[in-house]
Copies of this chain bind each other. A is one copy, B any other.
Amino acid sequence: MGTTINATAASLLGFLHDAPLTGYALSQVAEEALGNFWSITRSQVYRELSRMADVGLVRPSGEPGPRDRQPYELTDAGRQAFAAWAADTPNAETIRFPLLLVLSLGRHVDDDVLGDHLRTHRAEHARRLAEYDSIWEQLPDDVTAEGVDRWRVATLAFGRRYEQAVLGWFDELPDLLGIQPTNNAESTL
């Protein structure tokens, strides 16, 4: 019976397929690979790493560096555990959207307060979309070409769709709520 692991641990195993990495490095890779749609903190990384070392899914690789800096590498069991995890159909996503929560309780909240929140959040989402777009534009025209990481492109595409949807929603809100347009639509660009 192979060891069962959670998604967080699995992601680490995934990253270790390419090269041995230390905990700190792993947390950076994770951040940059998935940032907004699967965040992992350093604490989690170290916890999962040491658990996995205990059950033999990873093992120390090479010299410890300064501090307790220690690269880990995949074991065969680790590779197997990763494959098993990947084969399992992934759970549905969970979304926790505090703004939506406040909004749904809107009848007990001051209108101005809500308006503020909406403006702030809209701006933030516009920022993110702009960020994704600028990465997108630096991709080669043929996105299926050699040397392009298709998987990164796919997740980036999700990010753009998501942010576009959210912005569209912000902009239809005034109509739905029957209130003044509070969105600073010009800040989209």
Residues on A lying within 8 angstroms of B by beta carbon are 7, 10-11, 14-15, 17, 33-34, 36-39, 82-83, 86-87, 89-110, 113, 116-117, 120-121, 124, 143-144, 149-155, 157-158, 161-162, 164-166, 168-169, 172-173, 175-178
Q: Which residues of B contact A87 (CB under 8 A)?
A: 110, 113
Say how many copies of this protein the assembly contains: 2
A14 touches which one: B96, B99, B108 (CB < 8 A)?
Answer: B108
Contact A89 B116 (CB under 8 A): yes
Chain B residues near A93: list those with CB within 8 A.
95-100
Chain B residues lying within 8 Å of A124, measured Cβ to Cβ, are: 92
Assess whether B103 is in contact with A151, with CB atoms less than 8 Å apart: yes
With both beta carbons as reference points, the residue of chain B lying nearest to A87 in the complex is identified as B113
Most buried by B among A98, A102, A120, A175: A98
Assess the A38–B101 pair: CB atoms within 8 A: yes
Contact A91 B98 (CB under 8 A): yes
- Residues in B neighbouring A172, C-beta threshold 8 A: 157
One of B11, B36, B97, B178 near A105 (C-beta < 8 A): B11
